[in-house]
Amino acid sequence: MRMAGKKIRDRYSRRVQLPRPDGSFWEFALSPLRLGFHRTLHERGIVAPPVPTKISRDSSGKPLRDAEGLAIIQPDENDSQYLEAVEVYHQRVALIVLWEGLQADDRIEFETPAPEGNQGWDLFADQLHTELEQAGWTAGDLIWMCERIAEISNMSGEHFRESQRDFFSPAETDST
């Protein structure tokens, strides 16, 4: 792509300083997420778990039925296994966001090797979690870094709200 006749540079980075509890900082070079990041997650098998369903029941415990006599099914978003799977999914997404964002920093080396191809990314994210935990990272550190990556990817603040308005109908955005 060109702008005013000049080729647009496709990769850039920003230096950030992650504050540590002792008052020091860890410095990183972060790059924004690629346009196809969400598609890449899906291709790598990092997908949100499906919402389980359950049969709707009346106050006496009998199944509710529709006009054709079929049991009425409803989503069960409070299922404990589903909630645990959603938490693991979000953790994996955050870890892959961090890994992608740190690709611009040639000073950072992970002991956990990234998979080649689209298989094994769930295990990679889980191993990356263990590696970061052993290095002294906290949940807050991961959130802070993901927020910085979102900022340089123009996915936060007003940019995100504008994008959300463009991609979702008003009925869909009202419920979030």
What whole-number distance in Å separates Cα of residue 120 and Cα of residue 55?
35
The torsion of the CA quartet 89, 145, 33, 157, rounded to 10 degrees, works out to 100
> pLDDT tens digit string along 14-71?
999 999 999 999 999 999 999 899 999 999 999 999 999 999 999 999 999 999 999 9
How many CB atoms neighbour CB 46 within 10 A?
19
Q: Which residues pair with 3 in a beta bridge?
A: 6
DSSP count for the chain of H helices, then E strands: 6, 6
Place of tokens 């693991």: 88
Amino acid letter, 30 = L
How many CB atoms neighbour CB 126 within 10 A?
15
Instruction: Quickly list DSSP for 109-140.
Output: --SSPPPSSSSSHHHHHHHHHHHHHHTT--HH
Reduce the DSSP state of residue 19 to 3 states and report it.
strand
pLDDT of residue 176: 42
Q: pLDDT: is 175 or 101 the higher one?
A: 101
Domain ranges of the chain: 32-51+79-170
> pLDDT tens digit string along 68-94?
999 999 999 999 999 999 999 999 999
Residues for the chain: how many in total? 176
Q: C-alpha distances in angstroms, 29 versus 6, 61, 62, 105? A: 25, 57, 59, 5
pLDDT of residue 7: 77
Q: C-alpha distances in angstroms, 79 versus 67, 73, 75, 86? A: 27, 14, 9, 11
